[in-house]
Amino acid sequence: MPLLNLKDYAGVIHLHSAYSFDGRTPVTEIIRAANQNGVDFLLLTDHSTLKARDDGFEGWHDGTLVIVGEEIAPRFNHYLAFQLQTSVATAGDPPELPPQIYIDRVRTKGGMGFIAHPDHEGTELFHVKHYPWIDWSVTGYTGLGIWDFMTDWQNSLSGYLRAILSYAFPAFFLSGPSPSTLTRWDLLTQERRVVGIGELDNHDTLKRVMGFNLSIFPYARVFRLIRTHILTTGPLSGNSRNDIITLFDALRNGRAYVALDYYRSSTGFSLLMAEEGRYATLGDAFHLHRSAELKASIPYRGRISIIRNGTLFHRATGKDLSVNICEPGVYRVEVSLKIFGYYRPWIFSNPIYVTRLGHRG
């Protein structure tokens, strides 16, 4: 099966700087940590402000493209908004503003948006409130966060000893996307394209724990954790404005996968479908005539699972998995990596949407 000429850019979506009321790290320090960790792009989402762009931070910085968006964050229903010229949040908004209103504001201004940490539970032990998405009647959003580092990590804080170990070795305590999130995402994608992204939601806040001030987390420690890989049809040019458009066009179309890049880099992952000289990859719609080949490839040996309409379709261990597809459906891939004798979550792809004339999968 021939490879499509796609370029893989690994970046971090949803993070906060000193421009947020609950952040403290200057953007310059965040960029330095991103450069050191090989982050290709950063989607900065400070609360209800685009001031980082006004102050000149949007653009290329030594190999890292900084893109400024914002997080709209009432008590519940947090929303990540991008491609905006001005903030959609206003000082006069009530704290319980219906989310459909700000989703519509983003669309009216030509932007795109993602539901943030939809199943966030917080942690009672350390008095962290829960911030889930609770209004699923909304329409018009581009996608949602399927794997949020802070949600996953906070779920591991079930006791003080475990919390200490989890703080010291966060990657080893991540269990993957919430099953509730994946179940909902699988149902939504059977109705329309809903793009899945990874989130970091890091603030680098100081917490007083057992008499010590701890930073949760220094950016240099977490930039190798949950990343979103965006696949573009050609290399980025170095022109900030054009490259931002290129990345968002690919992301809007679901040309993306989410990965925990701490153990092994996932760059090189691919999911391709082919039939009679026609090809499709992540986010694409594919019209099935008779039977197509679906092939998943990963850069290191792992356990590859093909999911169809939310149900396990096929599973195998190796670096490649190829199966014949005869039925319509929404096909995505999950990959686990064996680390210290245990399979740990690694890659979660956006799906290929397979249809057949007169049949809905």
Predicted confidence (pLDDT) per residue in 165-189, tens digit: 999 999 999 999 999 999 999 999 9
Does residue 134 sit in the same domain as residue 82?
A: yes
Which of 156, 177, 152, 176 has the alpha carbon at shortest distance from 165? 156
Q: Once rounded to an integer, what is the mean pLDDT over residues 238-258?
A: 98
361 domain residue, yes or no: no
Calculate the CA 98 to chain-centre distance. Answer: 24
User: Could you tell me what percent of the chain has a pLDDT over 70?
Assistant: 98
Q: 2 pLDDT exceeds 80?
A: no
d(CA 90, CA 113): 17
Q: What domain count does the chain have?
A: 2
150 domain residue, yes or no: yes
Does residue 201 sit in the same domain as residue 81?
A: yes
Is the bond leading into 217 cis (omega within 30 degrees of zero)?
A: yes
Q: Once rounded to an integer, what is the mean pLDDT over residues 329-337?
A: 98
Predicted confidence band of residue 211 (pLDDT cuts 50, 70, 90): confident
Q: What's the pLDDT at 324?
A: 98
CATH number at residue 245: 3.20.20.140
Q: 240 pLDDT exceeds 70?
A: yes
Chosen domain end from 260, 279, 294: 260
Q: 291 pLDDT exceeds 90?
A: yes
243 domain residue, yes or no: yes
Does residue 248 sit in the same domain as residue 305?
A: no
Does residue 172 sit in the same domain as residue 297?
A: no
Does residue 174 sit in the same domain as residue 231?
A: yes
User: Could you tell me what percent of the chain has a pLDDT over 90?
Assistant: 89
- Token pair of 91 as six digits: 């000082």
Does residue 274 sit in the same domain as residue 252?
A: no
Average pLDDT, whole number, for the chain?
95
HSE of 71 in the Cβ direction (CA atoms, 13 Å)? 32
Of the listed ranges 72-86, 208-222, 290-304, the least confidently predicted one is 208-222
1 domain residue, yes or no: no
Which of 303, 302, 284 has the alpha carbon at shortest distance from 294? 284
Predicted confidence band of residue 278 (pLDDT cuts 50, 70, 90): very high
105 to each of 25, 74, 84, 87, how far by Cα in Å?
A: 29, 15, 10, 10
Contact 259, 269 (CB under 8 A): yes
Q: What's the pLDDT at 1?
A: 44
Q: 35 pLDDT exceeds 80?
A: yes
Q: 357 pLDDT exceeds 80?
A: no
Chosen domain end from 225, 260, 295: 260
211, with CB counted inside 10 A (0-12, 13-18, 19+), is exposed
Contacts 24+ apart (CB under 8 A), 29-37: 29/219, 30/219, 31/57, 31/61, 31/62, 31/64, 31/66, 33/218, 33/219, 33/220, 33/223, 34/61, 34/64, 34/219, 34/223, 35/61, 35/62, 35/63, 35/64, 36/220, 36/223, 37/220, 37/223, 37/224
Q: 248 pLDDT exceeds 60?
A: yes
pLDDT, tens digit, 9 for 90 and up, residues 59-105: 999 999 999 999 999 999 999 999 999 999 877 788 789 999 999 99
Does residue 152 sit in the same domain as residue 189?
A: yes
Does residue 249 sit in the same domain as residue 336?
A: no
Q: What's the pLDDT at 359?
A: 58
Predicted confidence band of residue 344 (pLDDT cuts 50, 70, 90): very high
Contact 81, 111 (CB under 8 A): yes
Q: What's the pLDDT at 96?
A: 85
Does residue 274 sit in the same domain as residue 256?
A: no
Does residue 222 sit in the same domain as residue 292?
A: no
CATH number at residue 308: 2.60.40.10
In the chain, the DSSP E strands lie at 7-13, 41-47, 59-61, 64-72, 79-82, 112-115, 143-148, 195-199, 205-209, 212-216, 226-232, 256-260, 270-275, 278-280, 285-287, 292-308, 311-325, 329-339, 342-349, 352-355
2 domain residue, yes or no: no
The model's pTM: 0.96
93 domain residue, yes or no: yes
The whole domain housing 280 covers: 270-355
| Strand, coil or helix: 93 | coil
d(CA 78, CA 72): 6
Does residue 16 sit in the same domain as residue 116?
A: yes
Q: What's the pLDDT at 95?
A: 79
Q: Once rounded to an integer, what is the mean pLDDT over residues 267-274?
A: 97
Which of 131, 135, 119 has the alpha carbon at shortest distance from 182? 119
Q: 114 pLDDT exceeds 60?
A: yes
231 domain residue, yes or no: yes
136, with CB counted inside 10 A (0-12, 13-18, 19+), is exposed
Q: Once rounded to an integer, what is the mean pLDDT over residues 329-358?
A: 95
Q: What's the pLDDT at 3?
A: 54
Does residue 243 sit in the same domain as residue 306?
A: no
Chosen domain end from 242, 260, 278: 260
Q: What's the pLDDT at 358?
A: 62
